[in-house]
Structure formats: C-alpha cells, structure tokens
Amino acid sequence: MEKGEEEKPTKAGSRLCCICNQKRAALKRPKTLQQICRECFYEVFEEEIHQVIVENQLFKPRERVAIGASGGKDSTVLAYVLSELNRRHNYGLDLFLLSVDEGITGYRDDSLETVKRNEIQYGLPLKIVSYKDLYGWTMDEIVKMIGLKNNCTFCGVFRRQALDRGAALLKVDKVATGHNADDIAETVLLNILRGDIARLSRCTSIVTGEDGPIPRCKPFKYTYEKEIVMYAYFKRLDYFSTECIYSPNAYRGFAREFIKDLERIRPRAILDIIQSGEDFRISTFTKMPEQGTCERCGYISSQKWCKACVLLEGLNRGLPKLGIGRSRGPNNDHKKGTKETNGAKSIESKQCGTLDF
C-alpha cells in the first residue's frame, strides 16, 4: 500500500488491522475481538501457542513426541503448528503422528485417509492402532450390541488406553493432544455436573499423567476452537470435518451447547471457566482414589481392574451394561451385580484411574 492510501476511505464496515495498522482486517478474533489481518493472525496465533509451550515447559530437547492425530481440525492444526514451531524455535523434537482406528465405517476410515495425507504433507511418521487389534472389537460391533446409548463411554475409555498403547509402541516420551480451551471448559462443567471430584481436580492441568509411563500435554489449552477453525481455513489445511456418526446423543454435547451460548454472550467465559477449574481446591477430608495398576492388563487404574477391562468383560460375556454408570439402589442389587462379575468384586461401579479427561 503506497503512502497516502491509508487515509482513503475503505468499504463500509472494513477497518485496518489493529496490530500492523497497514493491511485491511480480515477477521475478528473470537478470543479478544480484535480486528486483524491474516498475516497478523497467523503470527499472534502461533506466538501464543509458543509462549504456552515455553512458560509451561511442555517439551525438552531431543524428546520423542507423539501427536494424537484424528484427521480433525484440532489435531491437524496441532501437527502443522508444532512442526512449524519445532523448526522455527529449534525445540529439537522428534515428532510422530499417532492415530486410533475405532472401527467406525464411513467416519474413521475416511478421516484416517486425511491423516495419511498429513503424514506426507508434514513429513511426520504415522502409527495407527486399532480397537480390533487391541480389544477384539470395533465400535461398529459394540454399537450393534449395546445400541446408541452409552457407546461414547466405551469409545472414550478404549481410546484413552489405545493412545497410551500406541505411544508405548512408538517409544515416545510424551503425547500431545489437540484439546482446546472449549474442550477443557466443557470438561470442567461436565465434572461438576457429575460430581466427579477426582477428574475435576486434574482436568485443567496442561500436563497429565506425569506419574505414569507417558505424560500427555495440551498446547491448545488456551486456544479457542473458533480460532483453530479460522487458522485451518485461512491456511487451507487438509482436515476432516464430519462429526462422529455415534456422537449426537453424547452427554458432552449438551455441555458444548451451553458453553457456546455463554461464549456468544461473553467470549471471555471460556477462559473464566478454565480459571475457575484451576482455582478449585479439594477438601483435605475428601477421599481420593489411590492410583495403581490393573491386575488384568497392567494399565494404570485406581481399582483392581481398569475400566477398559471391566467393559471388555461385559462385552465378551454378553453383558454390555456391566461397568456402565454407578451402582444404585438397595444392597440386594449391589450383591446381584457382584455375583454377575464372577469374583470381580463390585467392579461394575468403579472408575478407571485414567490419565486424562
């Protein structure tokens, strides 16, 4: 733009970028409501993530880091940005893509094709682990048995463990996931609604599982979902945008809608909910689960059997509701549930000591 042109009136409603004050603003940042140009957006978006990484010491030089890659916007942008920052700031990381194939026809098989293209585009090695290989079941087979209710419980438990299994195969030091600020705010709300004190105490942590074999970190902890979408759109990144065909009835969906309503009224609400979660203090009188290992598979668990083994036991025995929810009702019902587990005492009411959400 030549000298003097800046003073000329622009189109109705258009403004100059509030950062460089030279180029025409292309977007309004959902987080700050600043009107900025694309180039400045790229710069501040990437710089904010870099600062989060540095200030929280998420990585160490020469670490092997697996990026949880689903093919969706969050993991695709994470893979792209981490690759760029790794080169630009010389993190010295060995990066890998790690994907989980849940076995959902028409959804995961298509999204994995996107991940395979990302492998070539970003030059990052890809490892895929599947529910079928790890558990002997696909999500299609599980849904056929249990129906559309509670299927997300199975998928969430199995996917968390599958990521750890895949990370162990890659021999990585850490797993980076694409959980964004919206996700974390939703999780704070969900844990309050469920009364899940144990998860509430750790769900806002930017690094989890530090006392386990492979920690996980969330570089997008303070990054809004809308900005991730904008970044992917303007950068023309190759990502898969279809929602899981089994997720419309998920409990999390109601929390997501509530968070979106709050964001429309007050964009800062997402970060405020996260801060509230960070500031929660659990009473010293509250009994917290003690972390151990599953006697059956060796995975981290606060009970005799981890949640994945409890759910698998139910599937394999034709009792898919075994391990779903918490035990309720009179003592007779509890004893009945104990008998059905064939010695695995009251495991149907126990929660797995998971590393993440």
Residue numbers belonging to the annotated binding site for ATP: 68-70, 74, 100, 178, 183
Query: Is 8 buried (19+), middle (13-18) or exposed (0-12) by CB count in 10 A?
Result: exposed
3-state secondary structure labels for all residues of 34-53: CEECHHHHHHHHHHHHHHHH
Query: Cα 276 from chain centroid?
Result: 19
* Residue where the block lists tokens 């060796």: 298
How far is the C-alpha of 106 from the C-alpha of 218, rounded, in Å?
28
How far is the C-alpha of 142 from the C-alpha of 137, rounded, in Å?
7
Phi, psi of 121 (to 5 degrees): -60, -40
Identify whether the C-beta of residue 19 lies closer than 8 Å to the C-beta of residue 36.
yes
3-state SS assignment for residue 167: helix
3-state SS assignment for residue 126: strand
Identify whether the C-beta of residue 55 lies closer than 8 Å to the C-beta of residue 94.
no
How far is the C-alpha of 70 from the C-alpha of 112, rounded, in Å?
7
Give me the helices (H) in 237-268, please: 251-265
Identify whether the C-beta of residue 58 lies closer than 8 Å to the C-beta of residue 206.
yes
What is the token pair recorded at 224?
């809004």
DSSP code per residue over 196-216: -HHHHTTTT-SEE-TTSSS-E
Question: Which residues belong to the annotated binding site?
Answer: 68-70, 74, 100, 178, 183
C-alpha pair distances (Å), 193 with each of 187, 251, 297:
10, 11, 31
3-state SS assignment for residue 311: helix
